[in-house]
A = this chain, B = another copy of it.
Amino acid sequence: MKQLELMKDLHVSSDKKIVMLVMDGLGGLPNESGLTELEAASTPNMDNLCRVSINGLSTPIAPGITPGSGPGHLGVFGYDPLEYEIGRGVLEALGIGLSLKPTSLAARGNFCTLDKETGVITDRRAGRIPTEKCAELVEKLSSIRIEGVDIIIRPVKDYRFALVLDGEGLSGELTETDPQRVGAKPLPVKALKPAAEKSAKYFNEWLAKAFEILKNESPANGCTLRGIAKDPGLPSYAEIYGLKSCAIATYPMYKGLARLVGMDVLDAGDTIATEIETLKKIWDKYEFFFFHVKKTDSAGEDGNFDAKVKVIEETDAIIPDIMKLGPDVLIITGDHSTPAAMKSHSWHELPVLFYAKNVRKDLVETFGETACIQGGLGHIRHVDLMPLAMAHADKLTKYGA
């Protein structure tokens, strides 16, 4: 029997509460000091907590596989990312609050700068135009009409927008138009299967009209479309785990991910401080809390070791606030590693701190990658976290007689 079916069969209700604190890109690599970002950070609260917890290391997807944000979070949520795939377009759309129909195709759009003479891309992000400018351009593009489909277009953040086409017989078996490098022209959308020919035609028709509208803009005089896909129709948290769940996150992408599995997405402001206030406010209303900290990842992506240390320390400072609420299970980990040394997501295992009443404690004294090697959890996989959380929250009954 597969894990999700098992959860569906075995879950029972209890009044226990689970907090899943995800520091995006938490895992790191040592700098010249020999310590990772987490190890270099002063984290007295997490260190104290790990001494009464079980700790370990977790592989987000599979050994050697670097997760995007989507698969990384699916793993944290207990859905095998190799089984369930989500297009980036879907994430962007859900992240800004669009709800997709089963018939809809969602694309992530990037405004870009094209060379006026040759048409090749000179800046894939159009100088990272501000969100206001993006909204202005999207407003112009919203005038586009295509026979046979309904169109929704919305600004996301900076140079990014979400485009949704809805109509009969659409298929997401389509290529992307971003050539992934400057000096090349945007590509046309191509159907990967005959059933997607009609969808490709619609998107190419939309692109032609969009380029016409944008041609005299600067610097965003073009755009590309990526991750065109349908909502994968994941079974919900209520269905799988029987959990009344919510998401506390500041960025559209993670809100979208949470919405995809049926979590209530709360308005949690823009900072860790507003997030923790939100958690306090809605504590009585839910059993599962996905608490997302974004800026660990941003700092890692920027190669800024010290900034990542600082975000970890800022997160450590809210641990007492969380503990005061009395969570029955608190898991602290990340969706994937983003070592400042690599300036990118990576495949490295994530440190995991797993606090609950009935954990079998280990001898780990500080929360960090090296110390977690000796942890009692050993080396687990992200998809193991939710079954363990459910078990420790008395929310799973026995399997078999």
Which of A18-26, A291-299, A311-319, A386-394 participates in binding chain B?
A386-394
**Could you tell me if B374 and A373 are in contact, using CB atoms closer than 8 angstroms?**
yes
Does residue A88 face the partner (Cβ distance < 8 Å to B)? Answer: yes
Least CB distance, A359 to chain B, in whole angstroms? 9
> Which residues 43-75 of A sit at the B interface, judged by CB distance below 8 A?
57, 61-71
Q: Which B residues lie within 8 Å of A273 (CB)?
A: none
Q: Provide the main secondary structure of the chain A interface.
A: loop
Q: Which residue of B lies closest to A373 (CB)?
A: B376
Least CB distance, A288 to chain B, in whole angstroms? 15
Report the separation of the CA atoms of residues A399 and B71 in the bound assembly, to the nearest whole angstrom: 7
**Could you tell me if B63 and A387 are in contact, using CB atoms closer than 8 angstroms?**
yes
**Could you tell me if A69 and B391 are in contact, using CB atoms closer than 8 angstroms?**
no
Which of A61, A88, A389 has the most chain B CB atoms inside 10 A of its CB? A61
Least CB distance, A322 to chain B, in whole angstroms? 22
Q: Which B residues lie within 8 Å of A384 (CB)?
A: 62-64
Which of A167-175, A211-219, A338-346 participates in binding chain B?
A338-346
**Could you tell me if B378 and A70 are in contact, using CB atoms closer than 8 angstroms?**
no
**Could you tell me if A29 and B391 are in contact, using CB atoms closer than 8 angstroms?**
no
**Could you tell me if B399 and A61 are in contact, using CB atoms closer than 8 angstroms?**
yes
With A373-B374, A391-B347 known to touch, is A6 a contact of B400 (CB < 8 Å)?
no
Q: Which B residues lie within 8 Å of A375 (CB)?
A: 373
Least CB distance, A72 to chain B, in whole angstroms? 8
Q: Which residue of B lies closest to A375 (CB)?
A: B373
Residues of A within 8 A of B (CB): 1, 3, 6, 10, 29-30, 36, 57, 61-71, 81-83, 85-88, 91, 108, 227, 339, 341-342, 345-349, 358, 360-363, 369-370, 373-376, 378-380, 384, 386-392, 396-401
Which 10 A-B residue pairs are closest in the complex by CB-CB distance?
A64-B387, A88-B401, A64-B391, A378-B379, A68-B400, A71-B400, A63-B384, A64-B388, A68-B401, A347-B391
